[in-house]
């Protein structure tokens, strides 16, 4: 009988951690992505340890004794929180990432897969003319967008650390770079949520209160979105089969890049609403677009014999809205009384 893999998922109670738990243990999941008999999974919640502390990180690893780590834990927030807290996002995430990777090394963890973000890539302004589509080779070609440079640099440094651990110690540490993630168990706090959960919460409150759903911003920026359940499957596959230090972009194809206005309309349709209103002047749009290529992901999946298909956006959005409506009372919605709903 083979020695079991003990897999620790940091940030296990968050959006992607919950998606991994669902995919691994839902009997409807394809067999290739379900938990295997030789795997023991532990999903760590933030209350178990402050990963900014080396001592608490070491105690956590001593408790679970992982052989593999999926590193999802991070200080995260929406556009406006990033813009006002760049130093906090930089310092806290550097500490978290360094403690997880260093403790993994010291305890001889066989594989670590960290979760980055497409914000690690250079901003289009002033970048080389052939920057788009973004590929794994373009992470370090220039500075990231100014709106979230703290978080971006902290996450970008993980790629540097992975390469250094590989070069100096031969460690099998790598990372995934997903585009904009959404799905059940998201953060719907209107003060610092990302675009889709924020729109969902605003639309829900508008329907509940009989008010006009009025999103901020122009709606013109373009984004690629990935369903958390799809990302979870890629993480599970990477844990079992991917052994390269080079990161993998996890994204739908470039042709599936959509405008925020399109997303607004689809959110409205998912709530069976038809009276959305635009607010052209309010708010900030952030980076206009950052299209990514999933060619490398497609190639390595095909080479390993995996027939992987992304969930259609409208289906994934409807499932996310249905979950949110059903679980509103226990979802992470924050205090709506302290937030302007315009």
Q: In the structure, what pLDDT confidence band is assigned to residue 188 with cuts at 50, 70 and 90?
A: very high
Q: Once rounded to an integer, what is the mean pLDDT over residues 282-305? A: 81
Lowest mean pLDDT among 242-251, 270-279, 314-323: 270-279
- Please choose, from the candidates 242, 291, 239, the residue with its C-alpha nearest in 3D space to the C-alpha of residue 16: 239
Locate the domains of the chain by residue range. 5-186+224-257+290-311
Q: In the structure, what pLDDT confidence band is assigned to residue 284 with cuts at 50, 70 and 90?
A: low
Beta bridge partners of 43: 9
Q: In the structure, what pLDDT confidence band is assigned to residue 215 with cuts at 50, 70 and 90?
A: confident
Is 2.130.10.10 the CATH classification of the domain at 5-186+224-257+290-311?
no
By annotation, the residues acting in catalysis are 151
Gap between the Cα atoms of 228 and 23, Å rounded:
10
pLDDT of 280 higher than 70 = no
pLDDT of 258 higher than 70 = yes
Gap between the Cα atoms of 288 and 221, Å rounded:
5
H or E element, residue 229: helix 228-241
pLDDT of 78 higher than 50 = yes
CB 144 within 8 A of CB 121: yes
């Amino acid at each position: 009988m083979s020695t079991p893999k003990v897999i620790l998922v940091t940030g296990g109670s968050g959006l992607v951690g919950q998606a991994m738990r669902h995919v691994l243990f839902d009997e409807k999941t394809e067999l290739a992505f379900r938990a295997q008999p030789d795997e023991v999974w532990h999903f760590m919640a933030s209350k178990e340890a402050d990963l900014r502390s080396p001592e608490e990180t070491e105690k956590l690893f001593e408790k679970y004794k992982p052989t593999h780590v999926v590193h999802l834990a991070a200080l995260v927030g929406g556009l406006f929180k990033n813009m006002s807290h760049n130093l906090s996002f930089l310092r806290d995430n550097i500490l978290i990432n360094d403690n997880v990777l260093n403790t993994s090394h010291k305890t001889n963890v066989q594989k670590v897969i960290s979760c980055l973000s497409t914000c690690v890539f250079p901003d289009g302004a002033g970048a080389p003319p052939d920057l788009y589509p973004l590929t794994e080779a373009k992470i370090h070609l220039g500075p990231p967008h100014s709106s979230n440079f703290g978080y971006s640099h902290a996450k970008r440094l993980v790629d540097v650390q992975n390469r250094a651990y590989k070069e100096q110690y031969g460690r099998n540490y790598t990372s995934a770079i997903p585009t904009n993630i959404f799905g059940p168990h998201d953060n719907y706090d209107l003060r610092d949520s990302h675009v889709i959960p924020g729109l969902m919460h605003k639309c829900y409150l508008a329907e509940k209160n009989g008010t006009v759903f009025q999103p901020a911003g122009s709606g013109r920026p373009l984004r690629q979105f990935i369903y958390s359940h799809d990302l979870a499957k890629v993480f599970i596959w990477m844990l079992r089969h991917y052994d390269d230090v080079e990161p993998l972009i996890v994204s739908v194809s470039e042709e599936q890049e959509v405008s925020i206005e399109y997303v607004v309309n689809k959110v409205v349709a998912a709530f069976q609403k038809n009276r959305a209103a635009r607010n052209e002047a309010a708010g900030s749009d952030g980076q206009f677009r950052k299209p990514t290529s999933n060619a490398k992901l497609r190639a390595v999946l095909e080479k390993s014999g995996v027939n992987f298909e992304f969930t259609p956006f409208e289906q994934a959005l409807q499932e996310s809205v249905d979950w949110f409506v059903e679980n509103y009372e226990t979802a992470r919605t924050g205090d709506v009384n302290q937030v302007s709903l315009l």
